[in-house]
Structures are given as structure tokens and as C-alpha cells.
A and B are shown apart, each in its own frame.
Chain A
Amino acid sequence: MSEQTKPKTAKRDPLFRRKTAIGYKTEEKTVMRGYNLSELAEAGYSFCDAMFVLFQGRIPTEPEEKMLKYEMGEFMEHSMSPSAASAISVIAGRPNLPAAVAAAVMTFGGAHGPGAAHGYMMNKYLDRALAEGKTVEEIAKELVDDYMDNNQPVMGMGQPQHRDGDPRAEPTHVKQEELNIDGIYLRLQRSIEKYFHARRKKEGRSYVPVNCVGAGNTALCDIGFAPNAAWCIGSVVRGYSCAAHAVYTLKKGRAWAASRNEPMVQMLDLSMIKYVGPEDREVPKQGERQEYAKKQKESGEYKKWVI
């Protein structure tokens, strides 16, 4: 065999220099928070155990590991949600699969699974309780009042599809209690829910149950994950199911999602467009442009369409 068949030697210099407390990699091993990853797997630890090592630098207790296993299992699949819709839309153009999965994970923001925001909110009010000498229950009532007095939605409450209760939420609270890992966060969250329900009832408003962020993120906080770490867990784990939706669409769906040859109207069929913008109008001649543009600007009519 000639020299030509020799596999290319990798350039193994670091791409990027950083002091890091997460891990290192040598020719001999990959180490995360001091543990050799291969030895961690050989010793029988689970992937959920490894998540504690990654974000918290510690081996969790068995109930903590069970809680994370439960949470990651329940967070993973949520069928038709913004993340899965993104994955399906992106794969319609047939890019490489990671593009569809990345888009799905990137849909997680302030409305879709705002795990970090919920965590920051809880930490802020717990801090306030400590500083002001208030109980968890008292600060929960203040939190609810602060949000509702300002017409802001209380994070962790309500889900647009599961209108009378996210199927994952209440069982998560119960699981946390069953595993005896209910800490100050669950106490705060339960109190938020209590005052939130009471105030809405008093105001004659409908019942809005706790959602998966309110329940799941609370548990993640109680088992030691910081807001952003918890958000990472919640949003990235959804990537797996979005990948399944993308792969299904890639293999069994029609590229472009607009064909008129499919028996069912497709997602991007032209008839799906409902246009509600300015009515059809003629394009001004360049010779008339300046006068036209000035008049249009002066009328201010365009402002209602500015986005």
C-alpha cells in the first residue's frame, strides 16, 4: 500500500486557548471535572449522572439522578411545538440534518421553555426574602402581586395547548416529593401557585395551571442546577425529539413542502398565505419617485405597517 493511502494525520493543536474548569483532552484520555469519561461510563454511571458532573462537578445522589432521568424523559418529546415546527420547516429545504436540529434548539427563548428566566425569577425573590426577613410564602405572594399588578404573566403558569393542565407538570411536583428532594424551590413554587390561583379566583378569572417550566425547572433548581444549566438541559433535550421529527420528514415527507401532487394540502402550499398588508398598488416610475416618496412619507399612512 502506497504512502497515499495513509490516513491524514490530524492537526491536534488547540483551536482556541482558554483556561477551563470543565475538562481537558489528551492523546490518552478525555477528562471532565476530574473524571476520566471512559472510566465514568465503565463504572456504570448513567448519562444523567454525567450531567451532574458536567454542570455541578459532583456525583448526584440516587434520588437526584432519578429526578433528572424523569425530567429529561418528560421534556424530550412535545410533538407540535415551535421547536419541532422549526425542525420540520428547516428540513423542507434539505440542508444537513444538524441545521434543522440547531434551529429547533434555538427556538427556546422567552416564551418557549423559558427555563433560565424562571430560575432567575425564583433566585431573585428568594434573595429578597432573605434580605427583607420574609418567609418563602410571604415572598411568593409578593412575586405574584408584582407580576399581576403589572399585567405580566407569572412565569411557570399556563400553557397554550394544555389549557387545563400540562400533563407533565403536576406529576413532576409529586415525583419530587416522592423522591424526598423537595427543597426551597418547590416550597416557593407551590406557594406561587397557591397565591396565583387564589388571586385569579378572587378576580373571577379562569384557572391557569402550572406548566412544565414551573414544575420541571423547580425540580432542576432543587437538584442543584443553575438557571442557565437548567435551561440547557430543558432546551437541548428537546433537540432529540425534534431530530426525530426532522428525520421522519426527511425520509417520508416531501422536500419543499409545497407540492400540489400530494393528496393533502402541504404546509407551504400557496393557498396557505393569507395576506393582510397594503392593497396591491402600482410601482411608481423612477421619474416620479421623489415626489411620490415625499408624499407617501408626509401622509404617514405607511406607519401603521411599520414593524
Chain B
Amino acid sequence: MGDLNQKNIGNLDSPKLPYDYLTREYGTVPLDKNRPPFQWVSEVAYKNIHRIVARGYDTTELVEEGYGLVDLLFVDFQARIPTEEEEQMLNYIMILSLEDGLSLPAVLARTVAKSKTHLTQACGASILAFGHAYGGYAAFGNRMAQYLERAKAEHKPLSGAAEELVRAHHRDEALGVSDLMLKDPAAKRMIARAEKLGVAGENVAFMKEVVEAAKRLSTSEVDLDMLGATASVMMDLGFTPEAMWTIIAITRSFGAGAHFIEEVEREGFTRLGETLTPPEDYDGPADRSVPPIEERDKHAQPAQAKSLEEWKENFEKRKKLPASGFAIVEEIEDPRNPKKAH
């Protein structure tokens, strides 16, 4: 329609471009006949018109035979039927993961509820609370596995590996040892239950060494916490760090669902524009007049730096403005390398 190869559109005919943009083709890419068409590739499950099959087991046959959710978690994540003791242990862990009072997942679910949404949106939001501080299961698990593997390869005693781990990661929220459970016996009871059921293995043994090392190295009282207990036992049950991260987050989401319901029942909804923020909570720039737009150049400060020194100076200055983002440094890896070994 019209001249699709017209010239003079912005900079698109600039000789600085490494290609001739304006003569590029329109139209979609034809189907690729040289490769098999896209299909849902899965090692986890399939279904047809009459059956749903997970890791080779028909799921209706599983539940008819008396297997339940907890067994199915082993089937989906580990492709195996758990022993009765393993099933009991995971049940135990999931009960303790179900509810945590008005902590982050419940707060998120209740906040979403106030906007008058579906319950499922609130449950989903609660899962997002499981970051590396509140639910650092993946970080914890991968670190434990790394130190354990190294200890084995180097024939080091567990106590030595535990001390190295604590020295290197004592400030990490996901150490598994903290001052959070000094008066609550639940974490230690969980380890004792795992031992009683005969499902505690090298991860629980290593966790105990980590606790001892942290106690020796810390200047204040610390002990095993819920993350350390849950994650070490789940790893001894054979779950990968990623699997346990998601299992615990989802389990808490049931509790978050109850918080959603209670919020709607007891507190009601919030309208757009209803919530006020009092000025006494504000500590940004003082109120100031908006400059006339004609005087923009007089007031506007360009952001560009021309030298490293100027860049650094700008950077440090910007760090002082809360919420500008300059005070945070994160490492977000590019995980595009395919089919990583695990």
C-alpha cells in the first residue's frame, strides 16, 4: 500500500547505518521446512484425550492407588515414587511452610486483594515474595552442594568446609543460620524428625557443621533457622535447589490465599487515588515551583559525561537521590548457554 520503499524517513537512509534499512523486505518468515515443526518437548508429562501421564505414571491411576500430592511432587521433580518415610517428611515440611503470619507473601496477597482482583492474582503475587532474602532456597542449596562437592574432591572434613562456607557467606540472608529461631524449636525439631525417619543424609550432616561453625565464629547468639532446616532436609530428600525453591513458595501460596479471602472479607477494597501519603513521611527535595517551559534550558541539567572522572562524579551524586537506582548493584547473569549440566 503506497510506496513501501520510500526514502527520507528520519535517519533510516543515513550512510552511518551498516545496512540499507529502506529496502528491507516486508512480510512474515515462511514456515521452516528444513527442521521438524515446533512441538512441546517435555521429560515431565504428557496427556492425550484419555490420559494424563507424569514421568510415565498415569496420574489418575496414581491417585486411585492412594498416592497423593506429596508423592506426585517426587514423581514430577524426581521421576520416582518416594518411600513412606520420605513422603512423611515432605508432608511435615509442607505443613510448616503453609503459614507464616503476616509476613511478605501474606502482605503481598492482601495488597493485591485490596485492588479487587481474582484470588489467583494474589496467590501468584505471594509467590513473587520468594526472592533471595526471604526464600533463598536456590542460593542456599547451590552453595551447600558446591562446598560439599569441594570437600569430597579435596578430602576435607565437613567441619572445615563448613567453616569456609560461613567465613565466605556469613552476611548472606540464606546462610541457614541466624538469630531468628533462638526461642522457637521448630527448625531443630524438623532435623530431629528427619533423623528419626532415617531420611537425613549428608546435607543435614553438613548443615549441622555449618551451624556449629557459625556459632563459633559469630559474636552473638545464632542457631539453625527455618531455611537451613527446610532446605537441608529437602536436599536429602533429593530435591534440587530450584525444585525446593518453587515447592516452598507454592506451598505458602495456599496460606496467602486464605489471607486474600480474609482481607476481602474484613477490610474491603481500595480505589485509585484513595490512599494518601503524608508529607511527614517524605524526605525528598523540598516543594519547589515548576519552571516555565520556555526557560527549560536555563534549568535543565544534561546527564551526559564526557570523561571518566565526570561520569564517576555524576554517578556518586545520583546515588544520593533515593529511588534513582544508582545505589544498587546487582549481578544479573546471562544464562543463554544451552543445556547446562545439572
Segment 123-150 of B: residues with Cβ below 8 Å from A: 123-125, 127-131, 135, 138
For A14, list chain B residues within 8 Å (CB).
102
Rounded to whole Å, the gap between the CB of A110 and the closest CB of chain B is: 9
For B294, list chain A residues within 8 Å (CB).
none
Q: How far is the CA of A23 from the CA of B2 in the complex (A)?
A: 67
Segment 27-61 of B: residues with Cβ below 8 Å from A: 27-32, 35-47, 49-54, 58-60
A240-271 vs B, Cβ < 8 Å mask (1 yes, 0 no):
11011111101111111001001111110111
Is B99 positioned at the interface, with any CB of A under 8 Å from its CB?
yes
Is A231 positioned at the interface, with any CB of B under 8 Å from its CB?
yes
B250 touches A243 (CB 8 A): yes
Is A233 positioned at the interface, with any CB of B under 8 Å from its CB?
yes
B42 touches A228 (CB 8 A): no
A7 touches B218 (CB 8 A): yes
Q: How far is the CA of A207 from the CA of B229 in the complex (A)?
A: 52
Is B208 positioned at the interface, with any CB of A under 8 Å from its CB?
no
A156-197 vs B, Cβ < 8 Å mask (1 yes, 0 no):
000001111101100100010000000000000000000000
B28 touches A274 (CB 8 A): yes
A72 touches B246 (CB 8 A): no
Total A residues in contact with B, Cβ cutoff 8 Å? 119
Contact of A251 among B72, B73, B340 (CB under 8 A): B340
A78 touches B47 (CB 8 A): yes
Rounded to whole Å, the gap between the CB of B244 and the closest CB of chain A is: 10
B246 touches A38 (CB 8 A): no
A77 touches B98 (CB 8 A): no
B119 touches A231 (CB 8 A): yes
Rounded to whole Å, the gap between the CB of B13 and the closest CB of chain A is: 13
Contact of A241 among B44, B218, B342 (CB under 8 A): B44
For A109, list chain B residues within 8 Å (CB).
118, 120
Rounded to whole Å, the gap between the CB of A9 and the closest CB of chain B is: 6
For A76, list chain B residues within 8 Å (CB).
59, 69, 72-73, 76
Is B17 positioned at the interface, with any CB of A under 8 Å from its CB?
no
A73 touches B250 (CB 8 A): no
Q: Given contacts A7-B171, A28-B184, is CB(A263)–CB(B95) below 8 Å?
A: no
A247 touches B77 (CB 8 A): yes
Is A206 positioned at the interface, with any CB of B under 8 Å from its CB?
no
B38 touches A266 (CB 8 A): yes
Is B92 positioned at the interface, with any CB of A under 8 Å from its CB?
yes
Is A134 positioned at the interface, with any CB of B under 8 Å from its CB?
no
Segment 251-303 of B: residues with Cβ below 8 Å from A: 251, 253-255, 257-263, 266-267
Q: Can you offer 18 A-B residue contacts whose CB atoms are under 8 A? A: A7-B170, A9-B220, A18-B102, A25-B102, A38-B189, A41-B95, A42-B92, A50-B98, A54-B258, A76-B72, A106-B123, A106-B124, A167-B52, A236-B250, A241-B54, A244-B44, A265-B38, A270-B28
Nearest 9 Cβ contacts at the A-B interface: A232-B257, A243-B246, A25-B101, A69-B68, A282-B2, A106-B124, A102-B124, A72-B69, A38-B186
Q: Which residues from chain A sit less than 8 Å from chain B, CB to CB?
A: 1-3, 5-10, 14-30, 32, 37-38, 40-42, 44-48, 50-51, 54-55, 69-70, 72-74, 76-80, 94, 96-99, 101-109, 116, 161-165, 167-168, 171, 175, 226, 228-229, 231-233, 235-237, 239-241, 243-248, 250-256, 259, 262-267, 269-275, 279-283
